[in-house]
Amino acid sequence: MIRVDDLSVRYGAATALDGVSLSVAPGEKVALIGANGAGKSTLLNALSGVVLKASGSIRIDGRFAHVPEGRQLFGDLTVEDNLSLGAYRGGTRNPAWLYEFMPELGRLRRQRAGSLSGGQQQMVAIGRGLMAEPDVIAIDEMSLGLAPIIVQQLARKLSELNAQRGLTLLLVEQSARVALALCDRAYVLETGRIVAEGEAAELSDSPFVEAAYLGRPVGAAS
C-alpha cells in the first residue's frame, strides 16, 4: 500500500530525512514513533506531495489521507463544511454516513470548527480524513493534547474501521504507548533515520524504546 525506498528530504542545508525506507501492507496498522524534530511530519508531508523529495522513491497504492499534526481545521468553516471538503478528491461529499459512524460529529455539525475543544477538533480532523474514503490514512500526533479517554475512543474507532473496512493505518506518534497498543508493526525514527523496526509487541519490550519513548505518559506534550 505504501512503499518508501531510501527517501531523503532536505530543507535548504538541513537534512530532515536521510535514506528512510518503510512499507505498509494493505490492511495493516503500522506505527511510526519518533521524538519532536525526528522527521515524522516531514515524512507524511512527503507522502502527501506537499514537500519535495531530494532522492529516493515513494509509492502509494490507492487513496491516501493525511490527518496533519495539530488538527489544522478550517477554523472559519462549520464542522459540516470541514468534513465535506475532506471529500474534495473523491468520496461522498455528504457526511451523513460519517455521522452514523461518529455521532458526536453529527451533533457538532453546524458549529464553527474553530470554536471546538481540542478533542472535538481532533475528531473532526480524523473525520475529514475519512471523508475521502481513503485506502490508507496517516494520522500525525493523534494523542497530542488529548485526554486519555478520548484517545482510547479514537483508537477504538480506528480499529473498527481497520477490521470492518480494511482501512490501512499509519499512526505517527511521539508517545509510543498508544501507537504500539493499537498497531501491529512499528518503526522508530530518530533524526531523520529509521533506527528500529519490528512487531509492536517486540518493540514494546525493547529496553531502548522503553527508555526513550515509553517513559512519557500518554498524551503529554513534549
Partner 1 sequence: MRKDAGTVYIVAIAVSSFALAALLDDSSLSVYVLLTLTATVTIGVSLLMGHAGQVSLGHGAFYACGAYAAGILATQGFPTWLGLLLAPVAAAAVATSVGVPLLILRGHHLAFATLAFHLISLSLISELAITGGDVGLQGIPRLSIAGVTLTSVRSYAYLSCAALLLIVVITRNILASRPGRALRALSSSEVAAASSGVPVGHYKLAVFALSAGFAGLAGGVYAFYLGYLAPGSFPVMLSIEYIVMAAVGGLGKVSGALIGSSVVFLLVHGLSRVGTLNGMPSTAPIILSYAVYAVLLVGAVLFLPEGLVGGVAALGARRRARALAATSEQKERAPSELQPAAVASERVAPKHGSLS
Partner 2 sequence: MSAFLSYLIHGISLGCGFALIASGIIIIYRITRVVNLAQGMFAVVAGFSAASALDAGLPHLLAELLAIAVAAIVGASTGFVAIAKRGTSPQASLIATLGVGVFGYAVEVLTWGDQPRSFAGLSGAHELWGVDVPSQYLLIVPVTLLIFAGLELFFERTYTGKAMSACASNPYAAGLQGIGVLRMGLYGFGLAGALGGVAGVLLTPLQPVSYDSDVSLFVNGFAAAILAGLKRPVLALAGGLVLGVAESMVAGYARASYQSSLALLLTLAILIAQATRREALQAVEE
Applying CB under 8 A, which residues contact partner 1?
9-13, 16, 34-42, 45, 50-54, 68-70, 72, 141
Does 86 participate in binding partner 2 (rule CB under 8 A)?
Answer: yes
Does 140 participate in binding partner 2 (rule CB under 8 A)?
Answer: no
Containing 162, the helix (H) or strand (E) segment is: helix 148-165
Instruction: Please report how close the Cβ of residue 106 comes to partner 1 at its closest, in angstroms.
Output: 27
The option from partner 1, partner 2, none interacting with 41 (CB < 5 to 8 A, set by class) reads: partner 1
Q: Specify the pairing of strand 193-199 against strand 185-190.
A: antiparallel
Residue closer to partner 1, measured from CB, 150 or 189: 189
Instruction: Please report how close the Cβ of residue 26 comes to partner 1 at its closest, in angstroms.
Output: 27
Residue closer to partner 1, measured from CB, 52 or 96: 52
Q: Which of 105, 173, 101, 162 is nearest to 135 (CA)?
A: 162
Burial 50-77 (b: 16+ CB within 10 A, else e): ebebeebeeebeeebbbbbbebebeeee
- β partners of residue 22: 4
Residues 184, 30 contacting (CB under 8 angstroms): yes
Does 40 participate in binding partner 2 (rule CB under 8 A)?
Answer: no
- 3 half-sphere exposure, CB direction, 13 A CA radius: 7
Does 97 participate in binding partner 2 (rule CB under 8 A)?
Answer: no
Cell 522527521 locates to 39
Residue closer to partner 1, measured from CB, 72 or 92: 72
Residue closer to partner 2, measured from CB, 94 or 117: 94
Instruction: Please report how close the Cβ of residue 178 comes to partner 2 at its closest, in angstroms.
Output: 23
Residues 33, 197 contacting (CB under 8 angstroms): no
The option from partner 2, partner 1, none interacting with 16 (CB < 5 to 8 A, set by class) reads: partner 1
- β partners of residue 171: 31, 139
Instruction: Please report how close the Cβ of residue 140 comes to partner 2 at its closest, in angstroms.
Output: 11
- Interacting residues with partner 2 (CB under 8 A): 48, 50, 66, 68, 72-77, 81, 84-86, 88-89, 93, 128, 132
